[in-house]
Every structure is written in C-alpha cells, then in structure tokens.
Amino acid sequence: MNNETLRLFVAATRQNDGKTTAALGLFAALKKRLGRIGFIKPVGQRFVEVEGKRIDEDSLLIDDTFHPQVPLEDMSPIAVEPDFTRRYIEHANNDALVRRLQHAFDRAAWEKDFVIVEGTGHAGVGSVFDLSNARVASILHSKVILVTGGGIGKPIDEIALNRALFDLEGVEIAGVILNKVMPSKREYIADFARRGFARLGIDLLGVLPDVPMLAEATLAQIATSIDGEFLHGWQRNRRHVRRVVIGAASSGNVVEHFAPGTLLVTPGDREDIILAALSSTCLLPSTAATGEQGGGGGKSGPPLVAGVALCGQHRPHPSILDMIHSSEIPFITSPHESFAVASRIHSMTVKTLPGDTEKISAIQTLVEQYVEIDRLLEKLRS
C-alpha cells in the first residue's frame, strides 16, 4: 500500500459535529497549497445508488465540488447496508475488507500530493465489523484530526475518550477543531480550550464560529424528509428554510409569525391560511421572486414565506390551486398530518449536498480563516 503520499484522517467525537464540513473545507485549503488532492471515505453509512454502485453521500459531495479524479467506487469502497453487520457477524471477512480499503486508498492517492480520509463518526464507529475509525486510520497509516462541538469541558472530555481508542491502535492525533462556537465567545473559548487540550498534549488547530445558515435545510431536503412532492415551484427547491410555523391558528394570527425564510406547515384544506401565505408576497416588496439559494437573488433578502407544506389528504379548492400555480411560493404536499410533518422537520439531519454553492463557499471561507492549515501540515510532515 502507498505509504509515501501525505494523508489526514478526519474524525469526530459525535455524529453531526461537523466532520464533513471540516473535510470539505480542508480539501479546498490544501488544494490551494499543495495542488492535487485525493479523497476517500473508507466506510460509508449514508449512500445513494450511482450506476448500480452504492456511493457515500459525502464522496459524491467532494466529487461534485472538486472533481478529484478518483473513481467513485474507490472514494467509497465500503457501504454499510442494512444487513451488512449481521452478514459480517455470521461470516467475518475482515482480510478481504482490509484489502479493499488498501486498494481503494492506493487509487485515491494515485498521482496525488495529499489524501483526505473522512471517517464515520467517533473513534469506535465500525468496531462491530472490526473496522472502527481508529482501526481504519491505523490500516491507512494516517494521523488524525478530531472535530468536536463548541465549548470547553465537554469537548475536552470527549476528545480524551476518543484518544484512548486511537492510542490503542497506535494512531497519532495531529490536532483538534472546535466547531459551532458562539461567535461572541469564540476568543474566550479558544483560549481556555487551547490550554485544556495542552494538558492532554493535544494541539487546538481551529475554532470555527457557528454559522446558522449551514444548519438550514433546503425545501428539497424537507420534501424528502416528509415524503412530500412539489405541487408548485420545484425550480425554487434550493431555498433555505430558517424557521417553521404551523398554521393551526386563525389566518390573522399566523401572519404575525411570518418572517424571512418561513416554511408554513398547514392542513391542505385550511384555505384561509393558504391565502394568507399567498398574500404575504405583498408584505415584503421585491423579495418574492428572489433566487434559489435561501431566497438569494441579490441584496433584497429571502422571501417572507420560503414555502408551504400542505399536509394530509385534503387539497384546496381548484380556484385556490390556480392561485398557487400563479404564485412565486413553492408548495409541497405531504400525506402526513401537520404535527407529524413538523416533527420530521425538527428531527431531520441537515447535510451539505452537491450544488449547495452558498454553503460550500461559506465552509471554505470558515476553514481557511479559522483553521491553522500551515501548522497542521507541519505536524503531518514531522
């Protein structure tokens, strides 16, 4: 297996701590400094079918954004299907999986100056089939950078716990990135966290401020989460949703809760509320027809109502449907009732997807500005 090309394993202390954000931002920053960057996500748990092959979502994001010239099947060599663990426990095939990982890494590193290896969650994820993140990092002879949530005490405790497993596999932690830190407390937290990590012999290499926009779902993501279909306005499916309002009160009271980027969730037969949403385009002049990224379209800001989710089996009167099809507001239909739709939206995991240009640009700026990239490279080369 290739042992010459510089590499970095990106892991996290918990799910949704910002591992993919870090990997994407690091890819852009390292590409500027080094040139040809390869990518591999050895073990993927969220995948889609591409030409009959199961490819991890994060590998697709990197491929679409940076075009690293690595075959997709090598960027995502192992997809953990629903019955993967059961089959492995019945018929362990670790040697074959290790060879697959090593071969895929060699392909990802071919003619590259650096390879980013994205893990799957914390150090122990994958232990049930003998391929924990710590074990995979060891197999690939990679140092690790750990991404953890903002704060002081909890992140330090979690890093210490994760380090124990990496130490067991003989893997060195190059440093830590704190993510989603309150901007007003960033300097304060960075100071104390840096001193706290130093007590563990670990370098704090970055402190990323929280950017709410990165956690905003698009209408397309919400439609998938609620088993919905676009009744109207599919071309605006990349609008970001900043807040959700359930249309259970009178139309007059509901309007008071409208703010830029609102998704209105309402039964399909509440025509008074639907009309209130349609009329809201008059409440914020020149913004209703704005662009596709969070309402985008220049300096006017997002529309007051980003979209409407019509819930249940009932649909508006044909005359209302005509108004919907003439409006600038996207409408999504869902078979579920309003409470179930709101619950699904509240619990959904928001991922950065291919084509999310506003988010991708923000992530690249964040990592370039707040992570000590050159210091990281020094540690990887030592």
What's the pLDDT band for 287 if we cut at 50, 70, 90? very low
The length of the chain, given as a count of residues: 382
Is the separation of the CB atoms in 73 and 42 below 8 Å? no
Q: Taking the model in full, what pTM does it have?
A: 0.88
Per-residue confidence (pLDDT) for residue 282, from 0 to 100: 56
Is the separation of the CB atoms in 331 and 354 below 8 Å? no
> For the chain, which domains are there?
6-211+354-381 (3.40.50.300), 217-347 (3.40.1390.20)
Q: Is the pLDDT of residue 53 over 90?
A: no
Give the residue-averaged pLDDT of 221-246. 95
Per-residue confidence (pLDDT) for residue 301, from 0 to 100: 53
What's the pLDDT band for 298 if we cut at 50, 70, 90? very low
Neighbouring-strand partners of residue 146: 11, 176
The beta-carbon contacts of 251-254 under 8 Å, at least 24 apart in sequence, are: 251/275, 251/276, 252/276
Which pair of tokens denotes residue 136?
């995979």
Per-residue confidence (pLDDT) for residue 288, from 0 to 100: 36
% of the chain surpassing 90 pLDDT? 81
pLDDT tens sequence across 179-192: 999 999 999 999 99
Q: Is the pLDDT of residue 281 over 80?
A: no
pLDDT tens sequence across 317-368: 999 999 999 999 999 999 999 999 999 999 998 989 999 999 999 999 999 9
More confident residue, 26 or 48: 26
Please state, in angstroms and rounded to a whole number, the distance separating the CA atoms of residues 352 and 358: 10
Per-residue confidence (pLDDT) for residue 249, from 0 to 100: 64
Neighbouring-strand partners of residue 10: 118, 145
- Angle between the N-to-C axes of helices 153-168 and 186-198, in degrees from 0 to 180, rounded to the nearest 10: 40
Dihedrals phi, psi of 55, to nearest 5 degrees: -120, 130
First and final C-alpha spacing in the chain: 21
Which pair of tokens denotes residue 85?
């663990």
Which pair of tokens denotes residue 378?
């020094």
Please state, in angstroms and rounded to a whole number, the distance separating the CA atoms of residues 351 and 367: 17
Please state, in angstroms and rounded to a whole number, the distance separating the CA atoms of residues 32 and 45: 30
What's the pLDDT band for 51 if we cut at 50, 70, 90? confident
Q: Is 160 helix (H, G, I), strand (E, B) or coil?
A: helix
Query: Which residue reads 């060891």 in tokens?
Result: 138
Query: Which residue reads 């108004």 in tokens?
Result: 323
Q: Is 227 helix (H, G, I), strand (E, B) or coil?
A: coil
